[in-house]
A and B are shown apart, each in its own frame.
Chain A
Amino acid sequence: DQQVKQNSPSLSVQEGRISILNCDYTNSMFDYFLWYKKYPAEGPTFLISISSIKDKNEDGRFTVFLNKSAKHLSLHIVPSQPGDSAVYFCAASVLEGSGTYKYIFGTGTRLKVLA
């Protein structure tokens, strides 16, 4: 049972336009969400995060939106640049009974920004 879903395996966007990557989750206990970016042959790198008490977080060209009622978050990249071409993973964390946070990752969306 995949609790974090990225239903679009790939996305192509023209340079300079907006890229919108989507993520849906099923567990209402998730309280912290992150986006990671991954280049080939490298590990994921942290991009931006949002707490469940917020609905928007912005960092430069990257903005994450959270819609708790819809259990949906999205990552907006404006303007998109060729260097943004990578796989983007959405992740959600939940506090376990042991007092430890556990992260669940989506399967990723491959973004290609066309020059």
Chain B
Amino acid sequence: DTAVSQTPKYLVTQMGNDKSIKCEQNLGHDTMYWYKQDSKKFLKIMFSYNNKELIINETVPNRFSPKSPDKAHLNLHINSLELGDSAVYFCASSQGTGGEQYFGPGTRLTVT
């Protein structure tokens, strides 16, 4: 009974393509996040939604567009993929914006 799930787990695609990653949480949390872990292992916040409203939007290219259809889902759409987008993307959720976050298993994106 997975708390935070992401699909797909692996994604290999070519430069210029558009792709989406989906995230769902069944914890009843009101806040969800997208993080990017790059090759240097930095885990950086990209976006955060609270009750479906965008509350954190870091300096991320506008090719990345998050969408939260409801409190349990936060999807990430990436347009015109570039080599530098290759990374592991983690979804997370929490109750409120403080406190511990629960992470999904990650999606490893490889752009060739």
Q: Which residues of A are at the interface with B, using a C-beta cutoff of 8 A?
A: 2, 32, 34, 36, 41-46, 49, 89, 93, 96, 98, 100-105, 107-108
Contacts and interface: CB of A to CB of B under 8 A. Distances in A.
Give chain B's interface residue range (CB within 8 Å of chain A): 20 to 34
Given A101-B97, A101-B98, A107-B43, 17 more contacts: A2-B42, A32-B98, A41-B105, A42-B105, A43-B103, A43-B105, A45-B103, A46-B102, A49-B100, A100-B55, A100-B56, A103-B45, A105-B35, A105-B43, A107-B40, A107-B41, A108-B43
Interface string B82-111: 000000001010000111111111100000
B41 A100 contact: no
A44 B98 contact: no
A102 B99 CA distance: 10
13 contacts: A42-B106, A43-B92, A43-B105, A43-B106, A44-B43, A44-B90, A96-B56, A100-B48, A100-B97, A103-B101, A105-B35, A105-B44, A107-B40
